[in-house]
Structure 1
Amino acid sequence: MTHPSCTFTRAITRRPAPSIVDGLRAEDIGTPDLDRMLADHADYVAALKSTGAEVIELPPLDAFPDAQFVEDTALCLPQGAVLMRPGAPSRLGEVAEMEPTLAACHGDLRRIEGPGFVEGGDILVTGREILVGRSARTDAAGVAELAAIASDWGHSLREVQTPEGVLHFKTDCSLLEPETILATRRLAASGCFDGYKVLHVAEGEEAAANLIRFNDLVIMPAGFPRTAEMLEREGFTVTRIGNSECAKLDGGMSCLSLRFWG
């Protein structure tokens, strides 16, 4: 049986809203196109469903331009779910919108009360531990509060650093297998993955680092052929999904779903 860090029976997604044009971005590389984003989102949901998983598709939230990036609102573990506390003030309200859905799926629902902040994009759950990257959106107090919950559930949590200028820890890494990580060279060079098998994205394809291993599939953004070929040589089944519009809002494959068991 595949380790639960790679095996999922359910996922939660949310359709993008017309307000995506007002979404947060580190730099302006163009206005996202809603029709294109919706088409890519539909392809993403179809890829998740193709593995046999149930996908809960939530409606758009026009009041929250970044709400399609549901991963930042929670951490789902086999024991339950933890509601996050986003470091971007405009995103705090997304957590309350997600809470009823998570409560219906998880018997044990905890929350980060604050004053610290944590976003799901900074959390990588491997086969042996939970790695949480400090970033502009995740601070020491938030990590400490999450560590206490994780410990209560029997998980080991380790704080690491997100590279300067990188939005989220998982912008630069993904889990491929319980002990195998895909990472950019700049992140791997920090030593945070010592003891793991690390595969590097191709030079110039750093944006390919954010992907998801979802059951038998590796779902990655389109447009990074050398990284995709490397993963296929390593024996992974790769599905490529358009990500041009989410990328304008610093979003990637992991951001678009909450993935869990049960």
Structure 2
Amino acid sequence: MQRALIRRPSPRLAEGLVTHIERQPVDVELAVRQWHGYVDALHAAGWTTVEVPPVDECPDGVFVEDTMVVYGDVAVIARAGADERRAEAPAAAETVAAQGYRVVPITAPGTLDGGDVLKLGSTIYVGQGGRTNAAGIEQLRAALSTADVRPVPVRKVLHLKSAVTALPDGTVIGYEPLVDDPGAFERFRAVPEEAGAHVVLLDDERLLMAASAPRSAELFVSLGYTPVVVDISEFEKLEGCVTCLSVRLRG
């Protein structure tokens, strides 16, 4: 059974942090509808969702991926690089523990955001930059001792997975102007749009992705994949993408 943790948007969503882009007005009611559309897409693909209790006082709480890294039977609970986001973690930790995961916390002086972590089999790339520091990466390496944890630089975007994700065959995809070091990845393929760099693997064929990357969707079709497109425009205004809105659990 494939499961995903989700968390509904805060009424204060429009106050979310913005670091690398200019702030734009966010339509919170539209964002809620888009969130439901995202969840519906997971359900339609056969995923079961588990809702993390909301944290209405945290504008960025909907970006639940940042609260943890799951690998095997371990959930490493993040210590957010932004102080304002640290209150998001406790309820997420309780929820993933209830799903049977062993919880290991990142502690000071380490910082780690889940959005900085790209898992490819036993290789884990971790973006080191504004939100995740060297101490956090070392703690992640200790917690996931069977994995090959590889730091990579992140300076141009908020998180590593703001720049790159990966296809089912292990090819890392990214919008090259925003990727600090494409050579850090064994196989890299450029996509034509920023939002095209973000995919959630629903299975070996279907890719959940944003409606704002139609040319990238065409590329994926040519590679034999089936895009499942959702509109997440309001979350993109807050540097969010399709990966940010869930924590995918397997088995």
Specify if TM > 0.5: yes
Deviations 1:157-214 (A, max 9, x none): 111111x231111101112125222112242754111x22x22111xx1232122112
Pairing partner for 2:165 from 165, 168, 174: 174
Question: Over residues 32-63 of structure 1, what are the superposed CA-to-partner deviations in whole Å (9 max), with x where a residue is unaligned?
Answer: 11111111111111111112121113353211
| Alpha-carbon distance in 2 for matches of 1:72, 1:65 | 13
Are the counterparts in 1 of residues 156 and 180 from structure 2 also a CA contact under 8 Å? no
The separation in 2 between residues aligned to 1:217 and 1:31, in whole angstroms, is: 32
Residue in structure 2 matched with residue 72 of structure 1 by the alignment:
66
Task: Indicate yes or no: 2:144 matched with 1:156.
Answer: no
2 CA distance for matches of 1:135 and 1:188? 11
In structure 2, list runs of 5 or more residues that go unmatched: none
1:21 alignment counterpart: 14
Cα distance in 2 for residues equivalent to 1:53 and 1:68:
18
- Partner AA of 1:13 in structure 2: I
Do the aligned partners of 2:153 and 2:181 also contact (CA within 8 Å) in 1? no
Q: Does 1:47 align with 2:47?
A: no
The correspondence for 1:244, drawn from 233, 240, 244, is 233
Q: Which amino acid aligns with 2:59?
A: P
Task: Tell me how far apart the structure 2 counterparts of residues 230 and 109 of structure 1 sit (CA, whole Å).
Answer: 38
Q: Secondary structure at the match of 2:41?
A: helix
C-alpha distance in structure 2 between counterparts of 1:99 and 1:208, whole Å: 30
Secondary structure of the corresponding residue to residue 16 of structure 1: coil
- Tell me the amino acid that sits aligned with residue 149 of structure 2: L
Partners of 1:242 and 1:142 lie apart in 2 by 33
Q: What does residue 200 of structure 1 align with?
A: 190
CA distance 1:190–1:182, change in 2 (3 Å): closer
1:38 to 5, 8, 32: 32
> Which of 114, 117, 131 matches 1:137?
131
Identity, % of aligned positions = 35
SS of the residue corresponding to residue 18 of structure 1 reads coil
TM-score between the two structures when normalised by the length of structure 2: 0.94
Gaps of 5+ in 1: 1-7
Task: Give the match for residue 185 of structure 1.
Answer: 176
CA distance in structure 2 between the partners assigned to 1:231 and 1:128 by the alignment: 24
- Distance in 1 (alpha carbons) for counterparts of 2:159 and 2:174: 13
Q: Does 1:227 align with 2:216?
A: yes
Relative contact order, higher structure (CA 8 A, sep 6+): 1
Contact 1:185/1:201 (<8 A) preserved: yes
Distance 2:230 2:239 in 1: 16
Give the SS at the match of 2:65: helix
What is the aligned-residue RMSD (CA, Å)? Answer: 1.5
CA distance in 1, matches of 2:218, 2:101: 41
Q: 1:115 to 1:256 in 2, by over 3 A?
A: same
Q: Match of 1:4?
A: none
The separation in 2 between residues aligned to 1:147 and 1:128, in whole angstroms, is: 12
Deviation track 1:53-112 (CA, whole Å, cap 9, x = no partner) reads 211133532111000000000011122211011000000010012121011013411111
